[in-house]
Structure 1
């Protein structure tokens, strides 16, 4: 178990934290265990899978702004699958290349395997004779929490 899901007091997902951080939250009594590993303890605490905050945290900003763009987040959004063929994605490809004004945005980037990224090079998918298997989209917060 590498991360613990943290829920708001209304059971809405907030983020994931490392197990050490989760234990500190329990010790400070800012969270309670919502779901735990059966028959496993860390000191006096069951090993948590899911924590629920004791007090509600206002998160209006989550609804006005989507998750921040990053290469790791793009790979997570795409399930670590290449956007051009059925292969594991190890890098991120810009649909409109950066040299032509393409930006680091959710709608302009897809996960790609090394071979497809090299083949497409500094071209658009149409120019390279490649077809995107799915259109890149801005993920929701809940989609990013599940991956």
Structure 2
């Protein structure tokens, strides 16, 4: 893509991760909201995305991760419901064995036929090929190490129903 073929950004789409002052993930907001928080010095930028916003007098990188300057107390987060969709969200819609994003399924780390539970700590996202290759074995037996060990997510954004595209820069703040 050359400079004359700029794709306009949807400034209202949720795509900026907001962290509390303690670096705890709090929410995902739109670019517009994130820039407002930064301009009013309520938040600071920790990571920028690859995109830029242009005005007649300014070019500004679009933030990917921002952190609030003051700690916000919030009530304890409710338990994230266990569902196929939330497992896919937790694993960022990628195979936890090979990193593929095609033909995703759910795999039981310890197969159910061998006593594995259908729960957060035993289920991961896997592509169809890896799921079939692993079969009725554990990842160790199959020689297929996991990218991230399965665990219940603590971050309640998974259940807010927002259509956001998880970004690579978020991983170090979410895991």
TM-score, scaled relative to structure 2: 0.47
Q: Return the alpha-carbon distance in structure 1 between the equivalents of residues 55 and 80 of structure 2.
A: 32
Cα deviation code 1:39-85 (max 9, x no counterpart): 73579x966514444653125736xx887652223423xx82343xx
CA RMSD of superposed structures (Å): 4.6
Show structure 2 runs of 5+ residues with no match.
1-8, 156-169
Alignment correspondent of 2:88: 72
Following TM superposition, the consecutive aligned residue runs of length 4 or more in structure 1 with deviations greater than 6 angstroms are 36-39, 65-68
Q: Which residue of structure 1 aligns with residue 28 of structure 2?
A: 16
Deviation for aligned residue 1:7: 2.7
How does 1:1-147 map onto structure 2 within 5 Å? 3-8=15-20, 10=21, 12-14=23-25, 15-22=27-34, 26=37, 32-35=42-45, 40-41=53-54, 48-49=62-63, 50-53=65-68, 55-59=70-74, 61=76, 70-76=86-92, 80-83=94-97, 86=98, 88-89=100-101, 90-95=104-109, 96-97=111-112, 102-105=117-120, 107-118=121-132, 124-125=136-137, 130-134=142-146, 136-138=149-151, 143=171, 145=173
Larger CA deviation: 108-117 vs 34-43? 34-43
8 Å CA contact 1:22–1:51 kept in 2: the answer is yes
Q: CA deviation at 1:133?
A: 1.2
The verdict on how the C-alpha distance between 1:59 and 1:93 changes in structure 2, with shifts beyond 3 A counting, is same
Cα separation, partners in 2 of 1:60 and 1:12, compared to 1, 3 Å:
farther
- In 2, the alpha carbon distance for the partners of 1:39 and 1:120 equals 42
The alpha carbon displacement at 1:125 in A equals 1.3
Structure 1 length normalisation: TM-score?
0.53
State whether residues 7 and 52 of structure 1, in contact with CA within 8 Å, keep that contact through their aligned partners in structure 2: yes
Provide the C-alpha distance between the structure 1 equivalents of 2:99 and 2:66, rounded to a whole number of angstroms. 35
Cα gap change, 1:39 to 1:72, in 2 (>3 Å): closer
Aligned partners of 2:52, 2:133: CA distance in 1, in Å? 51
Higher helix share: 1
